Amino acid sequence: MEQAAASVGSADGRDAFSARPSMGAMAAAGIAVLILSYGINAGDRTIFPLIVKDVRSEYGFDLPEAGLLSTIFTLGMAAAGIPTGYLMSRCSRKTVMQIGVMIFSAGTVVTVLATGFADMLVYRAVTGIGEAMQYTALLAAFSSYFSRHRAVGIGVLNYAYAIGAIAGPALGTWLLVAFSTWRAPMIAFGAIGFVAMAAVAATVRPWLSDVEAGRQPDAGATAVRSEANATSGAAATLYNLNTVVLTVLSVFLGLAMYGYLGMYPTFLREHLHFAQPDTGRVMSLYGLGVLVSLGSGWLGDRFPANIVMSLSFLFGAVVCALLYNGPESVALQGAFSLALGAAFSGTIFVNLAGYHVRSVAGDLAGRASGLFVTSLFAAATVAGYAFGWLVKLAGWTDAGNVQLVLLCMAGAAVSLMLQPALMAKPGA
């Protein structure tokens, strides 16, 4: 049965999901488990920024140290792409997914045992390695399984991220309040991860996770690909103007987006003095904004890249200015957080990934994707530390204006240098 299903998914170009009804039911169950497992991954990323204030109180960390702890997991994500590609050439995707879930769940739980800054920093970085391994394997699995609808499959993964980003802060703050300790949400999310690992083992079949498993995955598969097919009519080398500009924009996004994600909950609790539940609700609204990603991707394909990216960064600059310059009500902060989720994760991230691929010929798509992931997450690694340092130097408002507003304005200006005519057409 498994061999038959695999052949349906790859040999004649139809999605395996459209095979016999009984297999369709098993596939639906497996896909649901994979989506939920990635939602846990996304939710896990949101927990630590929510508890930074409590961690600082216990350990005496200053803001730059706390900021680095909030975003250091991205170092693991940036470093894990090539090793994960190597591992997937020797192990099944399902196995790599499970190893990834195990690593980030264990890292989350072990964080509560940290004795100081150095070992906590290591534990937080390790979680990023696991998260990247799981995401890389999921991208490969969904791209192969949905052979005729790869863009939809990848879009579903982005929606799974949104679900985790919505539910994670709400559940995390509830646990924080209910148990009066920052360790409770860390232990709970780690435990949920191990449950997800077992669920993947029980429900995901090889013909679902490893369609076309004989093909070695590309080492750059850690990026979101908005184009499933090889591109044509674009640059024959990575050293072209569009790729250079997009790499600069990826660095800007990494610094701005993870400066926000890593330190904004601390801003709400320490500067605006929001209660813990209100902080969780505001952060959940960021995840709700990510749900615009399918529509934003469509706009990115339909309109010129320079216009789409410039307007998106400009919109992000306006929203960031509103976040850090005045409004102190929960409702307004929540509305602006939702808008920023739509701008950063729902629009800029999605289209940056797609434009990186469309800027080069098909045989370079994997390397372009890898460049996107490396540039974005390498910048994100220091985003929290930089934001905390700026707060310590000049205060929350000026830090937000410099690292978020000015970077977004710079992104809007640099985006105008893109040359859409030198990118492959969508679907080409």
Residue 413 predicted with pLDDT over 90: yes
For position 318, what pLDDT does the model report?
Answer: 96
| pTM: predicted TM-score of the whole model, two decimal places | 0.77
How sure is the predictor about 5, in pLDDT bands with cuts at 50, 70 and 90?
Answer: very low
**What's the pLDDT tens digit per position in 129-175?**
988 888 777 776 776 666 555 555 666 777 888 888 888 888 988 99
What are 346-392's pLDDT values in tens digits?
899 888 877 887 888 766 765 776 678 788 888 999 999 999 999 99
83 CB burial (10 A radius; 0-12, 13-18, 19+): middle
- Rounded to 5 degrees, what are φ and ψ at 425? -70, 150
Distances (CA, A) of 352 to 51, 308, 374: 30, 10, 13
Asked if residue 214 has pLDDT above 50, the reply is no
User: According to the model, what pLDDT value does residue 148 have?
Assistant: 57
Q: Which residues are within 8 A (CB) of 205 and not within 5 positions of it... i.e. 6 or more apart?
A: 2, 5, 26, 27, 30
Can you give the pLDDT at residue 421?
87
Mean pLDDT of 248-275: 93
Buried/exposed code over 49-63 (b: 16+ C-beta within 10 A; e: otherwise): bbbbbbbbeeeebeb
Task: Tell me the two tokens of residue 65.
Answer: 């140290």
CB 356 within 8 A of CB 227: no
Mean pLDDT computed over 218-226: 38
User: Residue 233 CB: number of other CB atoms within 10 A?
Assistant: 13
CA gap 391, 404 in Å, rounded: 13
Which domains are assigned to the chain? Answer: 1-217 (1.20.1250.20), 223-428 (1.20.1250.20)
Amino acid at 104: F
Mean pLDDT computed over every residue of the chain: 82
